Amino acid sequence: MERLTSPPRLMIVSDLDHTMVDHHDPENLSLLRFNSLWEHAYRHDSLLVFSTGRSPTLYKELRKEKPLLTPDITIMSVGTEITYGNSMVPDHGWVDTLNHKWDLGVVKEETGKFSELTLQAETEQRPHKVSFYVDKSKAQDVTKELSLRLEKRGLDVKIIYSGGMDLDILPQGAGKGQALAYLLKKLKSEGRLPLNTLACGDSGNDAELFSIPDVYGVMVSNAQEELLKWHAENAKDNPKVIHAKERCAGGIIQAVGEFKLGPNLSPRDVSDFLECRVENVNPGHEVVKFFLFYERWRRGEVENSEAYIASLKASCVSHPGGVFVHPSGAEKSLVDTIDELRKYHGDKQGKKFRVWVDQVLATETNHGTWNVKFDKWEQSGDEHRGCTTTVKFTAKEGEGLVWERVEQTWSEESELKKDDSSWII
């Protein structure tokens, strides 16, 4: 967040499972559409927040399974944990807030008296969250009786039922909504209150997100019955909360457009690579566009045409001295690297192969010169492989941005062997 010197243009706060991530979409197309839109148009001046019921352990597992971007802020365990940045630095002020009228030992003691409750995995039990499974038919009665018992013990708790089976017990001051309210208050005190905030969800534990004043909200088309019921009873006349027509991340993109919060055309929705232009100089767009073309080239989804190769050479190579440094440390010219792409046309056709970029951040070093750093990822089959990439761009009169130098190093999270020669760029 340190990169932001002024209030964020937009802050998107999204649930993960069945909202940002569509578990019924094996190709992850709606998520990849969102990724390219965010990195192309928003990463440089906006904030991405993931707000999930998952514990840190299950959240990290999901990151290994799906092409998720790296958020600026992560809210986990149904709003009981807030962390910042890549290293997920915890917010200790939030921890202090949640300790009020909360006793984990008492909660465990009282819940142990209910045979209807089945304890979830140990990874899901957190300092300020105790999680169970409960049959839908028994959830209401259990919730009512448990609330009374904990209140008699001097605790002030919140019990959230979601997903048709999950029952979470939290401090009264916790939850996704309170975590968002706390975050907005903190950003305001720092002079960085977002100009607009969009909350996105699909289940009962997301309802609180839509109750925060001055926040736009979208329930994705596949939202669960419990959230739609809450909306009908509490927010049906609120024009700032909509029920999208599209599933998951597609619904988020739809809401960005309907609320006029900024650009909502994903580069993945532009079919012709040669027509994918922007009016202003945008190094992030150039990065997204190039690697989207690279994916389509290898999947055989664009024509094996000299026009495409010529366009790449015109926009990616300023002169024969342009250099590509392979993650192995080997250097070759950018001209040769582009020429080498010819033989890979369609080699991934009909296969599970996707490419995306993450954390695209551009720094103008001199007038007309940018260094752009990002993570570039490939999924081939079920294997993810990636590298940290730095590109030097120079603006040339009449040519737009040209690529002077590309340097890559293996990502620590990459599952690829460090000497794998199949990595092209």
Q: Which pairs with CB-CB distance under 8 Å and at least 24 residues apart come from 268-274? A: 268/29, 268/32, 268/33, 268/36, 268/37, 268/292, 269/33, 273/302, 273/308, 273/311, 274/307, 274/308, 274/311
Residues 263, 333: Cα–Cα separation, whole Å: 35
Of 356, 309, 357, nearest to 337 by C-alpha is 309
Q: What is the pLDDT of residue 320?
A: 61
Amino acid, res. 79: G
Residue 375 near residue 411, CB atoms below 8 Å: yes
Residue 167, Cα to own-chain centre: how many angstroms?
25
> Which two three-digit tokens encode residue 383?
């294997």
> Which two three-digit tokens encode residue 370?
């940018």
Whether the pTM exceeds 0.75: the reply is yes
Q: Could you list the pLDDT tens digit for every one of the 425 residues in the chain?
A: 677 889 999 999 999 999 999 999 999 999 999 999 999 999 999 999 999 999 999 999 999 999 999 999 999 998 999 999 999 999 999 999 999 899 999 999 999 999 999 999 999 999 999 999 999 999 999 999 999 999 999 999 999 888 889 999 999 999 999 999 999 999 999 999 999 999 999 998 899 999 999 999 999 999 999 999 999 999 889 999 999 999 999 999 999 999 999 999 999 999 876 555 555 678 999 999 999 999 999 999 999 988 888 877 776 655 566 899 999 899 988 888 888 888 999 999 999 999 999 999 999 998 889 999 999 999 998 888 999 999 999 888 776 788 889 999 998 876 555 556 778 88
Contacts of 349 (CB under 8 A, 6+ apart): 299, 300
Name the 3-class secondary structure at 223. Answer: coil
Residue 208, Cα to own-chain centre: how many angstroms?
20
> CA torsion sign, 274 to 280 to 282 to 288?
negative
For tokens 């619904």, the residue is: 251
